[in-house]
Amino acid sequence: MLNAQLEPIEEPRSRRGPLGYLRSAIEAVRGRDAVIRPPVAEPADFDLVLIGAPVWASHPSSPARAFARLYGQRIKRAAFFCTLGGSGAEPALRELEQALGRAPVATLAVTDRELDAGSGSDKLARFANAVRSRTALA
């Protein structure tokens, strides 16, 4: 929707299988950051960086939190979005804000049910418009 440059937050270790799931839950609940690879693009080169994360036990994913903590000082402005099974978006988004060190210009939380049913499209459009208006203000 935004025609933005995309870059995944990547880790050297896999999260597949039961052990990966368990590690994800432990890191989320204990507030541990994942070890992530450095981004290819320099975050400071962008007027606005979107950070997206699944919600794990009312916390942002540990890779997303690690990115916000490690690169927050280089990010001029940020917006956050998260996907979740049901609840926990508000605390997860607050935790990302704390990791970044300042408030985002826009946030979006969309549930799996909204995505599957297509009912999240209005929320996505409002978020995209908010992000576009913030980048136009540079």
Per cent of the chain over pLDDT 90 is 64
CATH class assigned to 17-136 = alpha beta
Model confidence pLDDT, tens digit, residues 124-134: 999 999 999 88
Model confidence pLDDT, tens digit, residues 74-94: 999 999 999 999 889 999 999
Q: Is 96 helix (H, G, I), strand (E, B) or coil?
A: helix
Q: In what order do the strands lie in the sheet with 59-60?
A: 59-60, 49-56, 78-84, 107-111
Domain ranges of the chain: 17-136
Map tokens 């985002």 to a residue. Answer: 104
Cα 11 to Cα 136: distance, rounded to the nearest angstrom: 32
Q: Do residues 82 and 56 touch, judged by C-beta distance below 8 A?
A: no
Cα 65 to Cα 97: distance, rounded to the nearest angstrom: 9
Q: Is the pLDDT assigned to residue 33 strictly greater than 50? A: yes
